[in-house]
Amino acid sequence: MENRGERAKKNSIVVMIFTFISRVVGIFKARVIATVFGATVVGDLLNFTFNIPNNFRKLFAEGALSSAYIPRFSTLIAEDESGERSKGLLKVMNAFQLLIALLLIGGVLLFGSQFIRFISDYSDPSLVNLAAKLLFFFTIFLSAISFAALWSGVLQSHGSFLVAAAAPLLFSLAIIGAVKVTEGLLGPFSMALGVVVGGVLQALVVWLALRRHSYKLRLSFNFKNSDFLAVLKAWLPVTLIALTTILTQQVSYFFASALPEGSVTALSNAIIIWQAPYGIFYGAIATVYFPLIASAPRDEVKTVISKGLAYLVVFLVPVTITLVTLRNETVAVLLQSGLFKLKDTLLTGSILLYFALGIPLVSWYSFLQRGCYSLGKYRAALYFNLTVAAIDILAMVTLIKWVGWGVWALSLANTIAFGVGALLLSIYLALNNFFKVDKEVLKVVLANLPLLAVALLYSRLADPAWWHGGSSWGNVLKLTLLYGGAVLLTLVIYLLMGIKVLPSRRRGPQSTRH
């Protein structure tokens, strides 16, 4: 049988492929929205309002709650061959998610306008009213996607990753179709329609896949279930961690909403673009390694975490170099058309620069944070997250309010905060003998020096204005060739230096070591 490490790499590659496709479609979705609504007041409002439930996903979907229940499901599936305990836990989790959904939808229905006024700088009654109506539909999406995340987590605990990775495609396709077809009739509510339909479709597809593992769509309000109580005990500290993250990002959107028109849209688009490689590589590897860390013997956790991080660095160092170099070109080719102009590209690119520089730092920190969850060190993870949030907010206030820099300072503050957090968390886990920097990391950094040299030459020698015309098939081809060249150069250097990108095809005895 394949050893556990090689199997994890293979699963990571599968998730990466489908996440890549999903992110490409997601960027096309952002392009459609940018083309139709532009960096206008309505465009800003859509992006601001959709960010609210997107942030709450950190609590009730892929974030805090999944960080609590995936280790529990992984343990139950490994220990209970009958599957009765995992099925019983899922029934209670279904009921718990339903109650949360009803509370959120009811709260937004009753107090949506007041909430929008509280968290934004909007004062125009018509804008506040529009935002509150949109928020209602976006909250329905949050409920659907929370169920999708729950069922995806159970699939991942069973070692099944394909459907969970592919299902988000439906969400993006639904939004694209709804905006394209119904925008003339529904205006901004065309996006709301797509969001709701896409969320429901994603949840439905994941549930159909989960049924193959003999689960049934049942509810249990037995909140005294011991496994549910264990999940709840883990969820509470992770929820505090997620809340600090949500607060920090909401502060950044608050600052953006007070800056010149187009700032919120630029920030949102920069986040979408930098989260594409982050989601493809960190998301895929963390998705596979998290259940692996949770189920590994305590004396092997150090090896699993260290090897997982080393594998992450293999992808993220070249991605960072390439995206930093081609940030403006990427924004222009992907988004610049219709109401999205060159000035919007330049503003988005200025924000993307610091987000791109922070990709390895955010990923490093987030992966080690997952390690803390698996080790049950929730309090330590909370303290580090509070530190990161405090640094981020302090940096935002300093750079925006006191220094007077523009919206790009928000991404700089984010990168500074996560850089400090990654360093502190690495030291903490190393001192507790749960982490070491694998020698492969230095090897990967050295292997990317040729790519860095080529990137610097491109910045000096290439025509700086070839992308100013925005999105066209010619520019798409040019950008594709540039990214393709970076990938080819990286793969050649990795091959020469013996750095593995794909898992070995050799088979051997099962082991947790790489």
**269 and 405, same domain (yes or no):** yes
User: Is 342 inside any structural domain?
Assistant: yes
Minimum mean pLDDT among 34-43, 161-170, 221-230: which range? 34-43
**216 and 334, same domain (yes or no):** no
Q: What is the number of structural domains in the chain?
A: 2
The CA-atom distances, in angstroms, between 404 and each of 183, 261, 310 are: 37, 16, 39
User: Is 82 inside any structural domain?
Assistant: yes
**278 and 200, same domain (yes or no):** no
Helical axes 408-431 vs 263-277, angle rounded to 10°: 40
**208 and 288, same domain (yes or no):** no
**186 and 322, same domain (yes or no):** no
Which of these three, 236, 269, 298, is where a domain ends?
236
**62 and 153, same domain (yes or no):** yes
**155 and 274, same domain (yes or no):** no
User: Is 1 inside any structural domain?
Assistant: no
In this prediction, residues 361-372 reach a mean pLDDT of 90
Minimum mean pLDDT among 57-66, 203-212, 216-225: which range? 57-66
User: Is 22 inside any structural domain?
Assistant: no
For residue 494, pLDDT over 80 is answered with yes
User: Is 241 inside any structural domain?
Assistant: no
**442 and 294, same domain (yes or no):** yes
pLDDT confidence of residue 509: 36
For residue 4, pLDDT over 80 is answered with no
The alpha carbon dihedral of 434, 89, 55, 107 has a sign of: negative
Which of these three, 236, 253, 276, is where a domain ends?
236
User: Is 99 inside any structural domain?
Assistant: yes
How far apart (Å, rounded) are the C-alpha atoms in residues 198 and 193?
Answer: 8
Top-confidence residue, 479 or 37? 479
**288 and 333, same domain (yes or no):** yes
The CA-atom distances, in angstroms, between 336 and each of 333, 345, 354, 467 are: 6, 7, 20, 10
Q: What is the DSSP string of 402-440?
A: IS---THHHHHHHHHHHHHHHHHHHHHHHHTTS----HH
The alpha carbon dihedral of 119, 120, 124, 126 has a sign of: negative
**149 and 293, same domain (yes or no):** no
Q: Which domain holds residue 403?
A: 261-502
In this prediction, residues 348-352 reach a mean pLDDT of 94
pLDDT tens figures, 404-447:
888 899 999 999 999 999 999 999 998 888 888 878 889 999 99
**363 and 468, same domain (yes or no):** yes
In this prediction, residues 334-359 reach a mean pLDDT of 90
Which tokens hold the place of 268?
A: 């949102």
Q: Which residues contact 270 (CB under 8 A, 6 or more apart)?
A: 331, 348, 349, 351, 352, 355, 411
The type of residue at 389 is A
User: Is 295 inside any structural domain?
Assistant: yes
For residue 512, pLDDT over 60 is answered with no
The highest-confidence range among 10-19, 334-343, 467-476, 484-493, by mean pLDDT, is 484-493
pLDDT tens figures, 107-163:
999 988 888 888 777 778 888 888 899 999 999 998 998 899 889 888 888 878 788
For residue 353, pLDDT over 80 is answered with yes
User: Is 24 inside any structural domain?
Assistant: no
Q: How confident is the model at residue 2 (pLDDT cuts 50, 70, 90)?
A: very low
For residue 504, pLDDT over 60 is answered with no
**103 and 150, same domain (yes or no):** yes
The alpha carbon dihedral of 294, 300, 306, 310 has a sign of: negative
Which of these three, 236, 252, 279, is where a domain ends?
236
In this prediction, residues 475-483 reach a mean pLDDT of 94
In the chain, the percentage of residues whose pLDDT exceeds 90 is: 37
Q: Residue 260 has what DSSP assignment?
A: S
Q: How confident is the model at residue 386 (pLDDT cuts 50, 70, 90)?
A: very high
> What angle is formed at CA 21 by the lines to CA 16 and CA 25, rounded to 5 degrees?
140
Q: How confident is the model at residue 457 (pLDDT cuts 50, 70, 90)?
A: very high
Q: Which residues contact 31 (CB under 8 A, 6 or more apart)?
A: 334, 335, 337, 471
